[in-house]
Chains A and B, each alone.
Chain A
Amino acid sequence: AQKVTQAQTEISVVEKEDVTLDCVYETRDTTYYLFWYKQPPSGELVFLIRRNSFDEQNEISGRYSWNFQKSTSSFNFTITASQVVDSAVYFCALSEGTSGTYKYIFGTGTRLKVLA
């Protein structure tokens, strides 16, 4: 069965600190996709990244980086030099490639508070 676990409910950091948000997933499929979305206080869901199961290369985009490790079924997200504007709830999500429906299974989210 599909499952996404974000064990960190809430994290508080001081501005300019680095922070890593953990995501662990379960799936029986060999083809799947992982995503991170940001939900700022305004409530919308903002797409951050998509990674397929065949591509374990880490990715960096500005202050954001993602570490995908199939061996531990993890897809962790690091924000370097955090800023107050990074304060939001971050969701990790999984979509199985062979199910034919492409629905997302979301984790419970991690609320990040960046303090000035």
Chain B
Amino acid sequence: EPEVTQTPSHQVTQMGQEVILRCVPISNHLYFYWYRQILGQKVEFLVSFYNNEISEKSEIFDDQFSVERPDGSNFTLKIRSTKLEDSAMYFCASSEAGLTEAFFGQGTRLTVV
């Protein structure tokens, strides 16, 4: 069964460092998303991406964040200069169409020390 794959599963980084979280969405899906979940809290929307551009971003998604689809399969989230408060589980998701259900990857746990 097709699934969304995220790497790495866990990343530890020092404050101020850049990190890139990687995702391989389901192959025939056209809409891509990043969400994050701070430990024990709810899942929050970061950004949606369609047709090679950002379609919406939340207030969390500031200038330190960027997304890219560098080739036909990968979808990446970059955090330029990590802060302690960026520590969270980051989920990538994809959907076939805008209003169909999104399938989530297993998440990348980012720990900023």
A interface with B by C-beta (< 8 Å): 33, 35, 37, 42-47, 50, 52, 91, 93, 95, 97, 99-109
Q: Contact: B104 with A95, CB < 8 Å?
A: no
Q: Which of A42, A102, A107 contacts B99 (CB 8 A)?
A: A102
Q: Contact: A106 with B43, CB < 8 Å?
A: yes
13 contacts across the A-B interface (CB closer than 8 A): A42-B106, A43-B89, A43-B106, A43-B107, A45-B107, A47-B101, A47-B103, A100-B98, A102-B48, A102-B98, A104-B35, A105-B45, A107-B42
Whether A95 touches B99, Cβ cut-off 8 Å, given contacts A106-B42, A106-B44, A107-B42, is: yes
Interface of B is mostly: strand
Which of A52, A97, A104 is most buried by chain B, counting CB atoms within 10 A of its CB? A104
Q: Which of A42, A46, A91, A103 contacts B45 (CB 8 A)?
A: A103
Q: Contact: B42 with A33, CB < 8 Å?
A: no
Q: Contact: A37 with B48, CB < 8 Å?
A: no
- Chain B contributes a number of interface residues (CB within 8 A of A) equal to 27
CB 8 Å contact bits of B29-42 with A (1 = contact, 0 = none): 00101010000011
Whether A108 touches B41, Cβ cut-off 8 Å, given contacts A35-B101, A43-B106, A102-B31, is: yes
Distance of A43 Cα from B103 Cα, bound (Å):
14
Q: Contact: B89 with A101, CB < 8 Å?
A: no
